[in-house]
Structure 1
Amino acid sequence: MSSENSGFLAKIPGLAYIGLVLTPLFWAGNAVVARGTVDSIPPLAMSFWRWIIALAVILPFGLPGVWRHRHTIRQHLGSMLALATLSVGAFNSLLYIAATTTTATNIALINSTIPIFVALLAWLLLGDRTRPLQIIGIGLALLGIVTVVARGDLSVITGLQAQPGDLIMVAAVFSWGLFSVLLRRQAVPLPPLTFLTAQILLGTVVVLPFYLTDFLFFSGGFELSRSTAIPLIYFGLFPGLLAYAFWNHGVLKVGPSKAAIFIYLTPVFASVLAWAFLGERIGLFHVIGGLLILTGLLLATRAGRPTPGYLQTD
């Protein structure tokens, strides 16, 4: 993404805010489309082909930078491979696997707690200072997750009857939080577009053996048709590349603390889209859990202002 393009975009009034509204819409759509197509496209196929499509689009723009900075990439290959495994590889694959046994609304609600996991892991692993309000916020958000996972029934937790997809989604969010913290600890001196391109390349390589194993021994792949191609194109272009571009432009123009507020729109969009297209109903536990999560996010981000790393690939 050239500086000339960035300068042109910066002159368009309100573009940053439009992009910051569209970004959580694309992320919400990722959960809804995954849930709606998981019966026809295996989760690991979703993950692998999403990144193949994204690579086809981004390589013409990002490959020159990867070549120019190949020595830096080689020098930091171990760190970059670990980061790609946690973000491009694990996070998205786990999200799509979660969609097989839980709702799009639950996925979006749990996914919205990413800043909480970033703050918690930054405190545990990096020793970041944690203020009292931030601790309260983290606690409320985690209580909100428990409410959603338990579906408002404590016996679900005590009896170990939680939906597997909810727990897998918690693991996905943990993976992204760990990625964000390691991104700070093991910062790689690369331009954002070059970093993203390299991460998608490495992440696709990480996903490949899991996809091939699933294809050969378990799912047998999927039939390529209009009903499967359109979701894959959506996964590759909208929640991946466009959301990435809009999110980073928004953070640069309005600042990370203001941009973080727009993350809260993800579960709102997801619940509306899931109701409209999947017929999912909003239960009282969704409302209570969502309010706890959003209140916790507001307190935690206001106190400590944790935000995800710049490579957001929902």
Structure 2
Amino acid sequence: MRTSLSGSRSFVAVVSLFLANLLWAGQGIAVKMLEGGMHPIAIALLPLYLATLLLSPWIFWRRKNSWVRLRAAWQHRNQFIIAGVVGQLVAQVGMTLGIARSLASDGAILNSLVPIFSALIACVLLSERLTPLRVGALVLGLSGVVLLSPIHLSASAGAGMHHVLTGNLLIVAGCLGSAFYNVYSKRLLNDFSEIEILFFSYLAATITSIPLLVSIDSGFCKQLATFTAREWGAFSFLAIFMYGLSMLLFLYALRRVDVVVASVSFYLVPVFGAALAMAVLGERIAPQGFLGFGIVLVGMLAAFRKGYNFG
């Protein structure tokens, strides 16, 4: 019975990671849909603010011990500030500004750095092991992403190279922030639930970033008033699914697997992201990219072999 329960939880964790990566892959598409009507900083921060607001009922009104949990969060305020600012704020601002200056497929492909950054940070902060199988899975996934890389090389041939390079460097900074948040959240899972980690880290990011938003784009309210239905759809996707549901799914899985193992699943973001960029934005996929899709999936399955810290 115990083996069956453990296997069921393992399966749910894998499904959660698949769904989370599918939702993350849509970030580039949503940002591209919004960039004509809103400043990139506002695109990064306003959905985060809405997500924080939507999470608040589960913290304040749906728990009998909410004040006890609030006191516990206050005692850990420095950790939530670090997670929210160094992790989420850097991740989302870097990724959104980068995608606005580059291509949606570039953002998905450069996300392949997140598993590597996460594995290295997890070794330092959590003392997780980089076993031969885990290293092999990371390398295999990365090689699949390399096969996908011709997408952005061919698609960006007419773009300003300096502009694209700046965007890609910002995306890399966002990947580093994302990796740090993933690892740091694993530590917080010892004392807090998934939804508490999201809310309090988002709250820290919200409070610290409001002056930045007002100083750079004080007219964001007027921009919101001119949104089309398509733009509202993209904005809602970022707030509800990208900042909200996808992160809850990931933290649920992260409670049950090591960071290094969960990080291998991030190689699915280029797979899903490139497919979405092709379907929605008309960006091209080179023939070898489809081989890359298969290699990424093999690498992920290798990482989730029995015995690698599920349950």
TM range (shorter): 0.7 to 0.9
The Cα shift of 1:139 comes to 5.6
Q: In the TM superposition, what is the alpha-carbon distance from 1:306 to its structure 2 partner?
A: 9.7
Post-superposition CA distance 1:69-127 (Å, at most 9, x none) = 22222221111101111333111121111111222222122224423211112234555
Name the TM-score, length of structure 1 as normaliser: 0.72
- Work out whether 1:26 is the aligned partner of 2:23: yes
**Equivalent position to 2:245, from 242, 254, 259:** 242
CA 220–34 in structure 1, closer or farther in 2 if over 3 Å, else same: same
How does 1:225-304 map onto structure 2 within 5 Å?
Answer: 225=227, 226-249=229-252, 263-283=266-286
Structure 1 pair 35–57 and aligned structure 2 pair: CA distance change class (3 A): same
Measure, in 2, the Cα distance between the counterparts of 1:140 and 1:260.
Answer: 13
Secondary structure at 1:39's aligned position in 2? coil
Superposed displacement of residue 264, structure 1: 4.1
- Provide the secondary structure at the position in 1 that maps to 2:283: coil
Contact kept? 1:151, 1:285, Cα under 8 Å: no
Q: What is the total number of aligned residue pairs between the two structures?
A: 288
Residue 107 of structure 2: aligned partner:
107
2:174 aligned partner, one-letter code: A
Letter in structure 2 aligned against 1:268 = V
Deviation at 1:21, TM superposition (A): 4.2
CA RMSD of aligned residues (A): 4.1
5+ residue gaps, structure 1: 1-10, 308-314
Aligned match of 2:3: none
Q: CA deviation at 1:237?
A: 0.7
Shift of 1:255: 5.8
Deviation of the 1:287 alpha carbon: 6.2
Match of 1:119 in 2: 119
Q: Does 1:47 align with 2:52?
A: no
**Corresponding position of 1:172:** 174
- Give the unaligned 5+ runs of structure 2: 1-7
Q: 1:136 to 1:23 in 2, by over 3 A?
A: closer
Q: Identity of aligned pairs, percent?
A: 23
CA distance in 1, matches of 2:127, 2:257: 24
Matched residue, 1:58: 55
Amino acid aligned to 2:170: I
Q: Deviations over 1:177-200 (max 9, x none)?
A: 222333455666223222222122
SS at match of 1:114: helix
Taking the aligned partners of 1:182 and 1:146, their CA distance within structure 2 comes to: 28
Deviation readout 1:124-151 (Å, 9 max, x if unpaired): 4555433345445556666777884996
TM-score, length of structure 2 as denominator length: 0.73
Letter of the 1:173 counterpart: C
Which amino acid counterpart does residue 90 of structure 1 have in structure 2? V
| In 2, Cα distance between equivalents of 1:187 and 1:249 | 10
Tell which deviates more after alignment, 288-297 or 103-112: 288-297
